[in-house]
Structure 1
Amino acid sequence: MTFNTLEDAAKFYKDYSKATGFSTRVQSTNKKGNEIKNQLITCSRERKWKSKISPTEKTNPSVGLNYPARIYIHILKDIGIWIISKIVLHHSHPCCPNQAEMLKQHRELSMFVRHTIENNEEADIRPSKTYQSFVAAAGGHRELNFIEKNVRNYITREVRNVLELDDAKEFGKYLLRMKEKNQNIFFELELKKDQSIKLAFWADARSRAACEYFGDVISFDTTYNTNR
C-alpha cells in the first residue's frame, strides 16, 4: 500500500484504529537533515512502565504490559512515495470499536456543535449547560463523541482567544474615536504578531493638564507578585 504523503499514511492508520477500537501515537521519527526518512506509529497504550508505588504497598498490584500493535512507514526516495513496510495487528488488550469515539484522539466537535458553543458563549450560557443540551438532544452521554472537557477546551482555546483579539482591535478603534473628539488625548497602542495587546498607554486631556500642573505621577505595577 502506498501513500503520497506521510500525513496520508498516518491518517490511514488513525482511521483503522478508530474502526478497530484503539488510538495511536507517534513513537519515533527518523530524519536525515530536515527530511523524515521513516516513522513508527504504535497503539497509544504501547509502552513499558514501572509503577512508582512499591508492590508491597499496593492493594491491587499490577504490571505494565507491552502492546505490540504498530506500523512502520518509510519513504521510497526514487519515486517519492510512502509505504507501510511492516505492520503488527495483535493487541495484548481488548479493543472496543463501539467506544472508540470516546478515546481522546478520536473525539471531534462538528461544525454544528462548534457553532452552538460559540452562540451559547456569546449569550453567557455556562459550558456545563451547553454540554447538557447536547446530551439531551443526543439521548445520552454515550451517543456523543466528545465530553464536557472538550467543550470547555474549545471555548478556552478558540472562542475566547478570538474574542480577545477582537477586543484589542475594538480598543484601538475606541482610542481613535476619542482622539477625534479631543486632540489633546494621547495614546500609544502596540500589538503583537497575533494581534493581541503588547503595550497600551493613554492619557486624556484632564490627566495631561493635571500632570503638567502638579508634576507628579503615580505608577501602579499590576503584575507585581503574579508569577511567584
Structure 2
Amino acid sequence: MEPQTQEASNSQRHTSDQNVHNVSDHMDEDVTSDAVDMDQYRINSWEDIGKIDFSSLSMKNICQLHFADLGLAFEFYNSYAKTRGFSVRKSRSIIVDGKVREKTYVCSCEGYRLEKWNHMKNRVREPKPETRCGCMSKLHVFFDAVTESWVVRDFCDEHNHELVVLKLARMLRSHKKMTEPDISQMNHMKEVGISMPNIFGSLASQCGGYENVNFSIKDMHNQVAKQRRQLPDDLTSAMAYLETLAARDQNLFYSVEKGREGVFRQIFWCDGRCQLDYDLFGDVLAFDATYKKNRYRLLVVIFSGVNHHNQTVVFGAAIVSNERKSTYVWLLKQLLIAMKGKTPTSVITDGHHSMVIAIQEVFPNAHHRLCAWHLMRNATSNIHKPQFTKMFTKLMLGNYEVGVFEQKWEEMVGFFGVEDREWIVDMYEKRNMWATAHIRGKFFAGFRTTSRCESLHAVLKRYIKSRYDLTEFVQHFQRCLSYMRHREDLADFKSSTGQPVMQTHFQQLERCQNFTSLT
C-alpha cells in the first residue's frame, strides 16, 4: 500500500534526526532485562496515565514506554500534549494481514491545508483560521508481538509554532471532551426544558468555574446533534417514545396517518388520564389550531375542556400537516375511537370552514358554537366601523328573546346599510351558532370564546420551543400535561382542607355557591 511505503520512508528519514529518539537505543543503555524494570514503563490502564507526572517526564522515559493497547497510547500522548499546550490527532496506520501494526499520532498543526479549501468560489461560511503549518512533532508506536504491547518507536517533540498557555489548553480540539456523566446530566436537564446556556452555567458552577469545564456550548450542541443522528427517523422515534409511555399506561391511545410513499400526514395521541378527564368533563369540547410549535412548522391541534375547578383540561393533542376537511374528520374520528364512542354535547371553535363541516359529519348531534372573540374581530375586519362592532357584540351576547333579537338585527344592518354584505348574510344564516338568543338552554360550561385554547397555547410556550422535532414535542407536551395535572391536585387538596370564610350577609347562598364551584 502506498501510504505504508510513505510511512516507512518517513520513519527512516526521521530516525536519523537528532530530535528523534529510538526506543531500542535507550533500552540498550538504560534498561535491563529484569521484568520488574520493564513493568515500570508499561501503561496498562487510564489510571496509570493519571499517576504520571508529565512535568518531570523526559524524552528518554517516553521512548521506554509500552502500552497495553492503542487507545492508551493515544490517551497518553493527548494528556502529555495538554501539559505542553498543543493538540493531537491520529495520523497514518500500517496494516499487515488486516490488523494495525503501527500507528502515528501527530500534532494538530502537522501538514498543510489543501489549496482547494482556500479558493472556494461558492463559499457560504467564513473560512476558519489556518492552523496547519507543517509541524513535525509526533509519537509513533508499533506492536511488539513478543511482549504483546505497543512500543514507542519514534518520538519527536519539536514544534515550529507557538504553544498555547496552559490555562487555555483545555480549549484545544483534542482536549475538549464531554464525559458520560456530563452528557447524562445535560440530557436530564434538557428533558425538563432548561436551555443550553443555563445547563452550561450549571455544569460550570459544579466544576468550580468556567475555566474548569473541558467543553463549550457548541460541543454540547454537537453532542445533541450526534445523538439525533444515532436515532431512527423522527416519526419512528416519536412512535417509539409513545410505545414507551404505553408500556406504563395501558390506556394510552395514538394513531398515525401517512400519505403516499410513507410521508407523514398527522398524528393523534391521548393518555389514560386524558380519557378519564373526557369521560368526566367531555360534554363541552373546545379545539383550536396553532402554528410554529415545532421545527417543521406543522399545525398543533389541542382538544380541551374545563374541569370541576374551572381549570383547563386537555383531552388529546395532534400534529397535522394541513387544515383540510379530511384532516379534521380523521382527527375527530380518532378522538371518538379513543373516548369509547362518547360524543360531546357542545363544541366551540374559531369557525374554520373545515372544522364546521367535520363537526357536522362526525358529531351531528353536538351544538357547534362559534368563538365570540373571533366573531368580533371578523366584524371589525369586514365592516370597518367600530360602532358596528360594538352593537354586534351587544347583540351577540345580550340575553334577548328571539323576536327582540330579530328586530334589533334588522335595525342594526339597516342603520349601517350592510344588508347585502356577504359576511352579514352568512352570519345571519349561522345565528344558531353564536347568538345567545338562539342558543339559550344549551350547555357550554361557561365557554363563549376559545380564549382557554389561547391561554393553553401560552402555557405551552413555556415548555415547547419552535426548534423541537416530533419526538421532543411529544416529550415536552407530556411534561406540560404533568404540570397542569399537578395544579389540579393542588386545587383538590385546597378544596378538601378547611372551610371557606363567608364574606356577605347572604351566607346560605354564598355557601351554596362555594360548594358548587368546588364540586
TM-score band by shorter chain is 0.5 to 0.7
Within the candidate set 126, 141, 157, 1:89 is matched to 157
* 1:26-65 → structure 2 map (5 Å cutoff): 26-49=90-113, 51=115, 52-53=118-119, 65=133
- Contact kept in structure 2, 1:2 and 1:81, CA below 8 Å: yes
Q: Does 1:129 align with 2:198?
A: yes
CA contact (8 A) 1:74 1:84 kept: yes
For residues 154 and 221 of structure 2, the distance between their equivalents in structure 1, rounded to whole angstroms, comes to 39
- Structure 2 distance, partners of 1:138, 1:63, is 30
Matched pairs, number: 181
Out of 84, 107, 128, the position equivalent to 1:20 is: 84
1:207-218 correspondence to structure 2 within 5 Å = none
CA shift at 1:5, angstroms? 1.6
Deviation, structure 1 residue 123? 1.1
Q: Match of 2:143? A: 75
Give 3-state SS (helix, strand or coil) of 2:86's partner: coil
Higher strand residue share: 1
1:98 is aligned to 167
The residue type equivalent to 2:145 in the other structure is K
Larger Cα-atom Rg: 2
Tell me if the contact between 2:140 and 2:153 (Cα under 8 Å) persists in the aligned partners.
Answer: yes
Q: Does 1:4 align with 2:68?
A: yes
Q: Which structure has the highest helix share of the two? A: 2
Does the 8 Å CA contact 2:109/2:131 hold for their aligned counterparts?
A: no
> Structure 1 residues 12, 117: CA separation in 2 closer, same or farther (over 3 Å shift)?
same
Q: AA paired with 2:155?
A: I
Report the Cα distance in structure 2 between the residues aligned to 1:44 and 1:78, rounded to whole angstroms.
Answer: 32
Match for 2:142: what amino acid? H
Q: Report the AA paired with residue 75 of structure 1.
A: F
SS of 2:81 mapped into structure 1: helix
For each residue in 1:121-140, what CA deviation from the matched residue of structure 2 results, as whole angstroms up to 9, or x when unmatched? 11112212322444566676
Q: Is the 8 A contact 2:67 2:149 kept in 1?
A: yes
In the aligned structure 1, how far is the partner of 2:191 from the partner of 2:149? 46
Q: CA deviation at 1:63?
A: 10
Q: Deviations over 1:21-57 (max 9, x none)?
A: 111111100101221110111001111235535xxxx
Change in Cα spacing, 1:63 to 1:113, as seen in structure 2 (3 Å) is: closer
Q: What letter corresponds to residue 91 of structure 2 in structure 1?
A: Q
Whether the aligned pair in 2 keeps the contact of 1:23 and 1:103 (CA below 8 Å) is: yes
Flag the 1:174–1:110 CA change in 2: closer, same or farther, 3 A.
closer
What secondary structure sits across from 2:95 in the alignment? Answer: strand
**Structure with more contact order per residue of length (Cα contacts < 8 Å, sep ≥ 6):** 1
Distance 1:167 1:113 in 2: 28
What does residue 153 of structure 1 align with?
A: 222
Aligned to 1:222: none
Unpaired runs of 5+ residues, structure 1, are: 54-61, 188-202, 207-228
With over 3 angstroms needed to count, the CA separation of the structure-2 counterparts of 1:119 and 1:100, relative to structure 1, is: same
What SS does the aligned partner of 1:125 have?
A: coil
Q: Percent identity?
A: 18
Q: Could you list the runs of 5+ residues in structure 2 that have no partner in the other structure?
A: 1-64, 120-129, 257-332, 338-519
Question: Is the 1:30–1:39 Cα contact (8 Å) retained in structure 2?
Answer: yes
